[in-house]
Structure 1
């Protein structure tokens, strides 16, 4: 019999850490998840195109996928599973059907990043032998911990007397904003009463929990192409239409787009390439950019202004521009009802000594697709943060997590799910009802609200 996941949280996380795979290439990762899910035993397991419509995917890569498939083969992935994931349709959804009760979803992300992991002796994964084994890729954002939580929580609920429907979304392609949309549009998101999403760290230390984030920025990633006409830079520069010059104008003017009075807006040109040689008028330029906004509408304002700016800059120099939205995600805030419930639950978890009911996020996350779907359908959603001491920032070569937070995350999530089951239906604040609380009051018996609104044993 497989050793319970709860007893091997660290070893499971380290195993996943060793084999990071970027967006839409998570073949070995998905196969490992399926292996663990099958050992747990669920009522429904959907993989790849059975979990979502491939046509709804965003930021789909044009790269050759065969090296990633071959790596999965070498690790013993089920050939039938690899066949099902043809074309990069990775990820999975696991469902428990346990009779009458609430329908609860949990979303965790599974992809890694194109970052070469540090080999420094003081970097624990290198020192302790679980550094990435795939050159140029790394779990530099904690998704290995997220997957571990997803599996452990699924196991705990499966072995409990939970009554209701529990759905775990093992979502691919979060880092590119590509996987949230198809998961949200899938049949598995139908009828969810509650959705929990979770992230590790984000500058919150071990022992701290944020019950729900607010003000995530709506975001879009775009690819920009400017096409001009080449010519000899010395003999006949007048015969060319300089795509590089148009690109320079576009970049300068993009940063001059007026910020909006209704809220925060952002624009950035993160990558730009043009030209072939010093004596050739560049006929082609490419850029990768993003626009963000405090609301979905503000993001759309910046996106539309960016498109207009780039196309006008191209036209000014006799060129033409293409503007391709690669991926985007909406704004969705955590519901106060779930922030209150998770705050209370987390305050009772061993090892958690500080609970923050709500915090501004300030970044973007495509879990907002699922959150928005659930909220529009009348349910409640929250995106929580389980703190971890990490030696350096996310998306760096030396990022790591404090493995004590693995157990913290499992306990907060499992206890929140069981409390949702017990209190269902949790009334909406907008319905004129009080937010539901347990017998211990809004924050339970062990905590008090401090002056900064945080919860902990020493506050109050």
Structure 2
């Protein structure tokens, strides 16, 4: 039977991206079967594991994400990724290992309560939470939902979250511009799509929609641009890809409409991509969590809203929920998430296992 740290080593060596987490799923199922846990596959590569002590009582749902990133690992670790070009650079290997450790402890110590443990695929890009909830429907009676996200922005023993919106609503956007090809020597006969795109971007940057006023917070930006096919031919197309992040869905939609009008002004269109709702914490659970952290003599930090996108927002739309940052920094250096050198120490895992077991117990009795 694997320890949570041993499981972390296996998972970290086998990173897989959205809805391709087949090896990850197998590693987890093998570990769960050794614990004798009831489980089912869900959303293609996900898993729902169940512990039910009292059939008439509702459950607490705890979610851990499974997918990795297309990043080449540079940690030099003994258990570094064996999948070239992919890495658990966002800490999801820690998330899964902690949840496994929680399940193991609940089983071995016969801790009372009803629990729904969700190993969720495709958090990083596709919004796997929505697929999980679509398949779960009302199969499980869930009282509360919770999740953590590790970060080395905070030290081990520091926990950060906030009342209301923790993570912004996030929408991918794509601006497209059409032109007419013509040899560069006769460029007056063509219509330059790149020129349209640049004019759009110039206006966008000169008049940003960004707003930091609480209740209306929003920002938008573009990170990818391409167009044309040949260096000596006027480009017949150009495309710019970016994202809008806002405090609420309505704010994001309103600002999408503004940018859409701007794109049309320069002969373009604006399309919606994937959409993550905001992660909105329940105030009652926030207060319960703050009291718990301070009672344990850990550090509670009100971090305010972050513009990070997180598909746990789908869970917060359905259940009273709480998500929080769990600090894992054990040195003075901050590496940061999505970095090829991001590698929390193994020893943060038992610390977080104990923390989460007691947090779930408190949610059971509250």
What root-mean-square deviation, in Å, do the aligned CA atoms of Structure 1 and Structure 2 show? 2.3
Cα distance, 1:388–1:283 mapped onto 2, change above 3 Å: same
| 1:109 equivalent in structure 2 | 65
| 1:98 equivalent in structure 2 | 53
Write the distance in 2 (CA, Å) between the matches of 1:225 and 1:96.
Answer: 49
Determine whether 1:264 maps to 2:217. yes
Determine whether 1:337 maps to 2:276. no
- Structural mapping, 1:29-428, within 5 Å: 29-48=24-43, 89-99=44-54, 100-118=56-74, 123=75, 126=76, 128-187=77-136, 191-210=141-160, 214-215=164-165, 216-235=167-186, 237-255=187-205, 256-259=207-210, 262-313=215-266, 315=267, 320-321=268-269, 323-347=270-294, 353-356=297-300, 358-362=302-306, 363-374=308-319, 380-389=320-329, 391=333, 392-423=335-366
Note the C-alpha offset of 1:280: 0.3
Note the C-alpha offset of 1:410: 0.9
Write the distance in 1 (CA, Å) between the matches of 2:293 and 2:23.
Answer: 33
Cα distance, 1:20–1:156 mapped onto 2, change above 3 Å: same
Contact 2:21 / 2:67 at 8 angstroms: preserved in 1? yes
Where structure 1 has 5 or more consecutive residues not aligned to the other structure, the ranges are 49-88, 375-379, 424-460
Write the distance in 2 (CA, Å) between the matches of 1:184 and 1:355.
Answer: 33
Note the C-alpha offset of 1:273: 0.8
Cα distance, 1:324–1:39 mapped onto 2, change above 3 Å: farther
Write the distance in 2 (CA, Å) between the matches of 1:402 and 1:344.
Answer: 27
Note the C-alpha offset of 1:160: 4.4
Cα distance, 1:35–1:47 mapped onto 2, change above 3 Å: farther
Contact 2:210 / 2:220 at 8 angstroms: preserved in 1? no
Write the distance in 1 (CA, Å) between the matches of 2:310 and 2:340.
Answer: 21
Cα distance, 1:324–1:151 mapped onto 2, change above 3 Å: farther
Write the distance in 2 (CA, Å) between the matches of 1:404 and 1:213.
Answer: 29
Write the distance in 1 (CA, Å) between the matches of 2:199 and 2:35.
Answer: 57
Secondary structure of the corresponding residue to residue 103 of structure 2: helix
Higher RCO (CA < 8 A, seq sep 6+): 2
Contact 2:182 / 2:233 at 8 angstroms: preserved in 1? yes
Note the C-alpha offset of 1:211: 5.7
Write the distance in 2 (CA, Å) between the matches of 1:43 and 1:291.
Answer: 40
Note the C-alpha offset of 1:184: 3.2
Secondary structure of the corresponding residue to residue 154 of structure 2: coil
Contact 2:163 / 2:282 at 8 angstroms: preserved in 1? no
Secondary structure of the corresponding residue to residue 338 of structure 2: coil
Write the distance in 2 (CA, Å) between the matches of 1:241 and 1:45.
Answer: 55
Whose strand fraction is larger, Structure 1's or Structure 2's? 2
Aligned residues: 356
Write the distance in 2 (CA, Å) between the matches of 1:397 and 1:301.
Answer: 36
Secondary structure of the corresponding residue to residue 52 of structure 2: strand
Note the C-alpha offset of 1:403: 2.4
Note the C-alpha offset of 1:116: 1.3
Note the C-alpha offset of 1:188: 5.3
Contact 1:214 / 1:359 at 8 angstroms: preserved in 2? no
Write the distance in 2 (CA, Å) between the matches of 1:139 and 1:361.
Answer: 25
Write the distance in 1 (CA, Å) between the matches of 2:175 and 2:118.
Answer: 32
Write the distance in 1 (CA, Å) between the matches of 2:10 and 2:131.
Answer: 27
Note the C-alpha offset of 1:163: 4.6
Cα distance, 1:252–1:41 mapped onto 2, change above 3 Å: farther
Write the distance in 1 (CA, Å) between the matches of 2:346 and 2:32.
Answer: 22
